[in-house]
Amino acid sequence: MNRTAIEPLRHAVRHLVTAVSSAALYSFDHPQVSRLRGAALDSLTAALEAEPDISLVIIGDELLAGDFPLDTGLYVGRFVEMMRARGIGHVKFLRGVTAGELAALAAALAGGRTEEEIRSTVHIRFGRVEVRFSLAGKEGEEDPLADFTAEEVARVTEIYEGVARNRKLHAAGIADMVGGFIIALRDQARPLMALAPLRDMDEYTFAHSVNVCILNLAQAMSLGINGPLLQEIGIAGLLHDIGKMFVPREILTKPAQLTDAEWRIMRRHPHQGARCLIETPGIPHLAAVVTFEHHMKHDFSGYPAVPPGWRQSLASEMTSISDFFDALRTRRSYCDSMELRQIAGMLLDRRGRELHPLLTRNFLLILSRMMA
């Protein structure tokens, strides 16, 4: 991000927020409001002279221009509030923004329009992080996997089934697929995340792996993580249960509670998965770490047991939260899917003990935005 763009950008945000507030007092066509909109356009145009496109991303209460945080002053705070109220996580301005486009943005922000009514234009693009839930098994419901291409479904199934058959994982295509999810999460204007419910056992592997991958990406993105680390955290989510392919199918698909002996076999999957990933060229080391640690729990009350002083990766703790959430949300054969509020209560309950306190808080914030 070119630093010379920052100052005019700050002015643009200030003028835009003032124009929106003034429109509430006067009318949208009032000369005072038009003047402020003109000033916002001039400042934005000046910023876009230094940088051909500028992305403003909301993370918590902060507004980042590229990787540069704008001051959390009154105007920036108000702007963040307005955008968030409309479910907008980021906005990208491209060189060439017109007075009409900026007026439409100001009108949308002033008019309390719903997020569906705010549309991207040629030079102003909005990005949202939204989650769409489907309830399993309801008559006449659209296919929850419809948002994924047949190729993606086939690829994830193939990854897991390939391991089940040959005990070998092939890394080809995994990074590209996660990259595709990241782009979809960033750029798609329509609801982005189809968290797929479990409908039958054959779909479980696909649905759960993709859900954990996407929930990991949502958590990491909301914390401002991007680039190769974001991709690795997504890959780790996608592959975290790869060790289950070493567990006999009768145990994996048993509709009743497992016996102690069966649990002992089941509890080997983190270790077996991590070993498989370490042996696979092209898989990030972090994915093996996360696979090994994803049932460990924040207070180490889970498994496998590790020596005192062990430090879990934050990516593993993120994955535990995604995994916990999706396991409850997804209908298994022996327990119905739970309502989001009930799951939120259970997350809150475990916060600071089994689940990382700050990451859980952040996840609950993501969840509350989904439920709003």
Give the interface segment with Fe ion, choosing from 72-80, 108-116, 303-311, 318-326 (CB under 5 A). Answer: 318-326
How far apart are CB 103 and Fe ion at their closest, in Å?
48
Give the interface segment with Fe ion, choosing from 14-22, 124-132, 160-168, 239-247 (CB under 5 A). Answer: 239-247
- Give 4's contacts (C-beta < 8 A, 6+ positions apart): 50
Q: How far apart are CA 106 and CA 11, in angstroms?
A: 15
Please report, as residue ranges, which positions from 80 to 139 form the binding site for Fe ion (by CB under 5 A): none
- Write b or e for each residue in 117-144: b if 16 or more Cβ atoms lie within 10 A of its Cβ, otherwise e: ebeebebbbbbbbbbebbebeeeeeeeb
Identify which of residues 91 and 247 has a Cβ nearer to Fe ion in the complex. Answer: 247
Identify which of residues 147 and 293 has a Cβ nearer to Fe ion in the complex. Answer: 293
How far apart are CB 267 and Fe ion at their closest, in Å?
9
Quick one: DSSP state of residue 114?
-
Contact between 51 and Fe ion per CB under 5 A: no
Q: How far apart are CA 205 and CA 212, in angstroms?
A: 11
How far apart are CB 212 and Fe ion at their closest, in Å?
6
The amino acid sitting at 15 is: H
Give the interface segment with Fe ion, choosing from 225-233, 237-245, 278-286, 336-344 (CB under 5 A). Answer: 237-245
How far apart are CB 115 and Fe ion at their closest, in Å?
31
Strand pairing of 53-59 and 90-94? antiparallel
Give the interface segment with Fe ion, choosing from 16-24, 64-72, 217-225, 323-331 (CB under 5 A). Answer: 323-331
How far apart are CB 277 and Fe ion at their closest, in Å?
13
Give the interface segment with Fe ion, choosing from 13-21, 281-289, 296-304, 315-323 (CB under 5 A). Answer: 315-323
Q: What angle do CA 177, 181, 183 make, to 5 degrees?
A: 110
How far apart are CB 336 and Fe ion at their closest, in Å?
18
Residue 64, Cβ neighbours under 10 Å: how many?
A: 16
Identify which of residues 241 and 317 has a Cβ nearer to Fe ion in the complex. Answer: 241
Please answer whether residues 283 and 289 qualify as being in contact, where contact means their C-beta atoms are separated by less than 8 angstroms.
no
The three-state secondary structure class of 152 is helix
Identify which of residues 101 and 323 has a Cβ nearer to Fe ion in the complex. Answer: 323
Identify which of residues 130 and 241 has a Cβ nearer to Fe ion in the complex. Answer: 241
Give the interface segment with Fe ion, choosing from 83-91, 191-199, 217-225, 240-248 (CB under 5 A). Answer: 240-248
Identify which of residues 293 and 323 has a Cβ nearer to Fe ion in the complex. Answer: 323
Q: How far apart are CA 59 and CA 62, in angstroms?
A: 5
Identify which of residues 304 and 352 has a Cβ nearer to Fe ion in the complex. Answer: 304
How far apart are CB 308 and Fe ion at their closest, in Å?
24
Q: How far apart are CA 295 and CA 236, in angstroms?
A: 13
Give the interface segment with Fe ion, choosing from 69-77, 81-89, 164-172, 319-327 (CB under 5 A). Answer: 319-327
Quick one: DSSP state of residue 240?
T
Contact between 323 and Fe ion per CB under 5 A: yes
Burial class (CB in 10 A: 0-12, 13-18, 19+), 105: buried
Strand pairing of 62-65 and 53-59? antiparallel
How far apart are CB 249 and Fe ion at their closest, in Å?
16
Please answer whether residues 335 and 305 qualify as being in contact, where contact means their C-beta atoms are separated by less than 8 angstroms.
no
- Give 371's contacts (C-beta < 8 A, 6+ positions apart): 340, 341, 344
Contact between 317 and Fe ion per CB under 5 A: no
Q: How far apart are CA 119 and CA 166, in angstroms?
A: 48
Residue 4, Cβ neighbours under 10 Å: how many?
A: 13
Q: Select the residue interacting with Fe ion from 147, 232, 241, 317 (CB under 5 A).
A: 241
Identify which of residues 47 and 288 has a Cβ nearer to Fe ion in the complex. Answer: 288
Identify which of residues 43 and 322 has a Cβ nearer to Fe ion in the complex. Answer: 322
Strand partners, 216: none
Identify which of residues 220 and 245 has a Cβ nearer to Fe ion in the complex. Answer: 245
Please report, as residue ranges, which positions from 339 to 358 form the binding site for Fe ion (by CB under 5 A): none
Residues in contact with Fe ion by the rule CB under 5 A = 241, 323
